[in-house]
Amino acid sequence: MKILTVIGARPQFIKASAISRAILLHKNVTEVIVHTGQHFDENMSAIFFEEMEIPQPKYNLEIHSVGHGAMTGRMLEGIEKIIQDEKPDYVLVYGDTNSTLAGALAAKKLHVKVAHIEAGLRSFNMQMPEEINRILTDRISDFLFCPTDAAIENLKKEGFDNFDCRVFKTGDVMYDSALHYAAVAKRKSKVLQDLKLEPNRYVLATIHRQENTDDLNNLKNIIAALNEINTTQRVVVPLHPRTKNILQKNNLTPSFTIIDPVGYLDMVQLISNSSLIITDSGGLQKEAFFFHKNCVNMREQTEWVELVDNGFNMIAGTNTEKIVSCYRTMIAKQNDFSINLYGTGKSADEIIDTLIAAK
Ligand code: UDP
């Protein structure tokens, strides 16, 4: 059995690492990895393959730094050619990026079975490119692997019971990765010493969502909030290249600690020793929960509604006062994290077993 994996962005490397490990347990399954090139900086791409021991991509399309249309179109063309050459049994796509949509569309038109990992998530905000990508990808996928009950419900409401596809609840492969690399991170990461950070005495934040970086008002509000929080507790931000460029272009110089993006081992170490997470990232909201940290969400909505419903995550949006007041609430709040929201950490095995059984 041959699986073609299409990945291109940082969170996809983290998710795919769990699946690659599960595939390696099966001698009769081979994986061919296509890297679309969407993320290409050393610390946004190569470091993940090295540290997480992800098999090297056989193909790198090196498509990046162009608009959504050009990017998706060029990827579609490149992936189609590879599928024709490789003739895989399945094409695996992850999450909600342009690489996800291009991989799914190329495969579907060639009548190759598409498996979507992290299916069924919705923000119900059609302004987000991610929402468009995930809705279209779900609709043309043959196997939809949903991480949560909410994702299953979303698909039901959209009529997926009537479509020619199979929907599974498998838990979240990111949880598999978090569990697997937590011990490695503890052994190998020196990031706390390097940054002189004391456990539970700093806030970890990230900003990269297009609606926050491309709207200068939103970005300024966020910076003002993090600056203010930084006066009470050190705020550390591994800054996404997109956000870094916009700060530089607009001469914005925050007073909190900015560092370059870090690899997954340092990230896990930073998350698990922080006092709280503030973010607009999808993945990081869940990782906060995995490592028993409260989270303030700098978006207007989330796909991970169970975090909000259970009080682990507070939606702050991008209003400065609201972010600071959510921070004050969440830093004081004691939560019980024992509830199981994202599976058992064995999602990748379940997904691969399902695909093998269906062949
Ligand atoms: N991440 C990382 N290094 C960083 C910042 C983030 O390894 O410097 C990880 C983070 O822990 C999470 C993933 O990257 O696993 C999230 O990616 P991102 O926020 O870019 O995308 P999203 O999850 O919002 O799609």
Pick the closest to residue 321 from 226, 225, 255 (CA basis): 225
Q: Could you tell me if residue 49 is inside a domain?
A: yes
Q: Are residues 98 and 213 in the same domain?
A: no
The answer to the question of residue 337 being in a domain is no
DSSP 55: P
Q: What pLDDT score does 162 carry?
A: 98
Q: Going by CA atoms, what residue is nearest to atom 13 of ligand 1?
A: 11
25, 150: one domain: yes
**Nearest residue by C-alpha to atom 17 in ligand 1:** 11
Q: What confidence score (pLDDT) does residue 21 get?
A: 97
Which conformational region is residue 316 in: left (phi greater than 0), alpha (psi within -120 to 50 degrees), or beta? alpha
270: CA distance to ligand 1 center in Å? Answer: 12
Mean pLDDT score of the chain: 97
Tell me, what's the pLDDT at 121?
Answer: 98
> What are the two backbone dihedrals, phi and then psi, of residue 76, each rounded to the nearest 5 degrees?
-55, -45
Considering the domain architecture, whether residues 225 and 96 belong to the same structural domain is answered as: no
Residue 148 C-alpha to ligand 1 middle, in angstroms? 20
Q: Rounded mean pLDDT of 280-289?
A: 97
For ligand 1, atom 7: residue with the closest CA: 264
Helices (H), the chain: 10-24, 46-51, 68-86, 98-109, 129-140, 149-157, 173-188, 191-195, 210-213, 216-230, 241-249, 264-273, 282-290, 305-309, 320-332, 347-358
Q: Residue type for 329, please? A: T
Residues 247 and 302 in one domain: yes
* pLDDT reported for residue 175: 98
Check which CATH number belongs to the domain holding 268 and give it.
3.40.50.2000
Give mean pLDDT, residues 227-235. 98
Say if residues 94 and 118 touch (Cβ distance below 8 Å): yes
Q: What is the mean pLDDT of residues 143-148?
A: 98
Q: Is 178 within the bounds of a domain?
A: no
Q: Are residues 149 and 118 in the same domain?
A: yes
- Please identify, by atom number, the ligand 1 atom nearest to the C-alpha of residue 239: 8
Residue 177 inside a domain? The answer is no
Task: State the burial class of residue 124 (Cβ atoms within 10 Å of its Cβ: 0-12, 13-18, 19+).
Answer: exposed
Helix %, strand %, coil % of the chain (to 5):
50, 15, 35
Tell me the residue range of the domain where 218 lies.
186-332
At 141 the pLDDT is: 98
- pTM summary value: 0.97
Instruction: Classify residue 27 by its DSSP letter.
Output: T
User: Rounded to an integer, what distance in angstroms lies between the CA atom of residue 79 and that of residue 6?
Assistant: 8
66 token code pair = 């162009």
157 shares its domain with 55: yes
- Read off the pLDDT of residues 189-206 as tens digits, 9 standing for 90 and up: 999 999 999 999 999 999
Residue 28 shares a structural domain with residue 132: yes
Are 214 and 328 in the same domain? yes
Just list the catalytic residues.
208
Q: What is the pLDDT of residue 132?
A: 98
Residue 186's pLDDT is: 96
Q: Are residues 228 and 312 in the same domain?
A: yes
Cα 163 to averaged position of ligand 1 atoms, centre (Å): 33
- Total domains in the fold of the chain: 2
50 alpha carbon – ligand 1 mean position (Å): 16
User: Is residue 349 included in any domain, yes or no?
Assistant: yes
- Same structural domain, 237 and 146: no
Which pLDDT score is estimated for 151? 98
Atom of ligand 1 nearest to the CA of 260: 8
> Could you tell me if 269 and 124 lie in one domain?
no
Note whether residue 256 is domain-resident: yes
Q: What is the reported pLDDT for 289?
A: 98
Q: Is there a domain that residue 89 lies in?
A: yes
Q: What is the pLDDT of residues 85-115, one digit of tens each?
A: 999 999 999 999 999 999 999 999 999 999 9
Q: How many helices (H) and strands (E) does the chain have?
A: 16, 13
Ligand 1 neighbours (beta carbon < 6 A) = 10-11, 14, 206, 208, 238, 261-262, 264, 267, 281-284, 287
Tokens found for residue 25: 């347990």
Name the pLDDT band for 353 (thresholds 50, 70, 90).
very high
Q: What pLDDT does 105 receive? A: 98
Residue 249 within any structural domain of the chain: yes
Residue 25 sits in the same domain as residue 140: yes
Nearest-CA residue for atom 10 of ligand 1: 284
